[in-house]
Amino acid sequence: MPQLSDRAAQLAADPAEYAADAVDAEYAAYRRTVEASFREWYADSRDSWTHHVTNERVTHFALAAAPTTGLDPDRPPRVLDVGCGRGRQTAVLAERLGADATGLDLLDVWDTVPPAAGTARFHQGDFLDYRGPAVDLLVDNGCLHHQRREDWPGWAAHTRALLRPGGSLVVSVFLSPDGEVSEHLLADGRHNWWLPEDSVTALFAAQGLTPTGRLEIDRDFAYQGLHLKYLALSFAAPLDGEAR
């Protein structure tokens, strides 16, 4: 069974000079900021990502990255869709893979049509507090780049802990146009990070995950004179050993 959690082992034992309770308080405060930000965006129907072609391409990339070996013949594949939003991607993953798919989000805004095959269930909560059985496929479609930088190691460690041996991870981020890690803080306090591929790869490689694929998606979106793209990466957990 996956271990860790407890705020992903205090954000993967990095840490800072802060006492545990101070770290927890700051983390909880930022979670409330993220929740309030996205609640407002959904309430105002500004969740353009839900139906955008970028989201569809990440979903198809995730389907192709799903493991085909090492599956338990006595149960359907298990999928965890982190930051599932309205649940569209969760339902597609369940239906196309015949999977037992769980959509996880800070908000309970899921309103998708149930899949024709497989099972889609939804859970409201924070990723670093989530505990469940090891999954065959974990998809983080646009969550990492909204986390505080000091939380990235814990986020990656908890991701690894939830993957079964040989399981697959798909993560998508805002691709940095200049190869540098750069922060763009929204007015409501939510972080937007633009990340280079090598930084994301190094983050998960440090957890023993092996890169297996990449997809660069042109968002046809310009911001502050820069042409922005989306980057989806896939990784495989090692076959030996147990899920952490």
Dig out the tokens for 92 from the structure. 């597609």
Whole-model pTM over 0.75: yes
Give the pLDDT band of residue 12 (cuts 50, 70, 90): low
- Residue that wins the pLDDT comparison between 135 and 220: 135
3-state percent breakdown (helix, strand, coil) of the chain, nearest 5: 35, 30, 35
DSSP per-residue codes, 143-176: -GGGS-GGGHHHHHHHHHHHEEEEEEEEEEEEEP
- In Å, the largest CA–CA distance within the chain is 53
Domains identified in the chain and CATH numbers: 6-236 (3.40.50.150)
Give the pLDDT band of residue 4 (cuts 50, 70, 90): low
| Residue 115 CB partners (closer than 8 Å, separation 6+) | 91, 92, 94, 95, 101
Summarised one tens digit per residue, pLDDT across range 74-122 is: 999 999 999 999 999 999 999 999 999 999 999 999 999 999 999 999 9
E-assigned strands of the chain?
A: 78-82, 100-105, 119-124, 135-141, 163-175, 182-185, 191-195, 210-223, 226-236
Instruction: Give the percent of the chain with pLDDT over 70.
Output: 87
What pLDDT is stored for residue 9 in this prediction?
Answer: 53
